[in-house]
Amino acid sequence: MSNSHTYTPDCMVSGVATCDTDVANENFEYLKEEADKLPTIQSNIQNLQTAVANLQSTTVNILSSSGTVNLSDNSVNRITPSGTVTFTLPTVSDHTKFHQILIQLVINDTYTINLGTTYFFNKAVPDFTETGYYNLIYEHDGTRWVCGSIVKGEAI
């Protein structure tokens, strides 16, 4: 059966069959094929609805302000360190999925921050010697977690 078939509803005129058996069977097969697609379409719609709901309900995790902090995959986090902080990164087993972690960081004083990786964007370890607001971004590249930071503030 080709994809170019068009259902022909005019085989019935006033309740009397006016087309031959071949056309009726062809119409039946076409409608059956279209009906067989419905579960897949319904499943795709449900998956899209779930994805949209997840995006709309992203929770910002408030992290402990000192000590060892376990980070979760694909999470948004906020922390204001009050002492030494060591981030522990999650193990990634499915390398076919996208993995990222965002940390909104407020630096009010100088503390040691262990980022949990030795790989960094631009091959540069982030510098937190200046007080202020930062975004830490972790991305798993299929092999390891890579980290980078962006300082936030008003343009000078």
pLDDT tens-digit series, residues 90-109: 999 999 999 999 999 999 99
Answer yes or no: do 48 and 67 share one domain: no
pTM of this structure: 0.65
CA angle at residue 134 from 95 to 107, to 5 degrees? 125
Q: How does pLDDT run across 7-35, given as a tens digit for each residue?
A: 555 555 555 556 667 777 777 778 777 77
User: How far apart are the C-alpha atoms of 111 and 65, rounded to whole Å?
Assistant: 11
What single DSSP character describes residue 49?
A: H
In this prediction, residues 66-79 reach a mean pLDDT of 95
Residue 144 lies in a domain: yes
Max intra-chain CA distance, the chain: 88
The domain tally of the chain equals 2
Domain that holds residue 83: 59-152
Residue 70 lies in a domain: yes
**Mean of the per-residue pLDDT values of the chain:** 85
Confidence bin at 58 (pLDDT 50/70/90): confident
3-state secondary structure of 28: helix
The residue type at 7: Y
Answer yes or no: do 42 and 65 share one domain: no
Answer yes or no: do 74 and 141 share one domain: yes
Percent of the residues in the chain that have a pLDDT greater than 90, as a whole number: 56
State residue 1's pLDDT score: 45
Q: How many CB atoms lie within 10 A of CB 134?
A: 20
Answer yes or no: do 21 and 42 share one domain: yes
Residue 31 lies in a domain: yes
Q: At what angle do helices 21-36 and 38-56 cross, to 10 degrees?
A: 20
Confidence bin at 89 (pLDDT 50/70/90): very high
Confidence bin at 3 (pLDDT 50/70/90): low
Gap between the terminal Cα atoms of the chain: 67
> Per-residue pLDDT for 133 more than 90?
yes
State residue 77's pLDDT score: 96
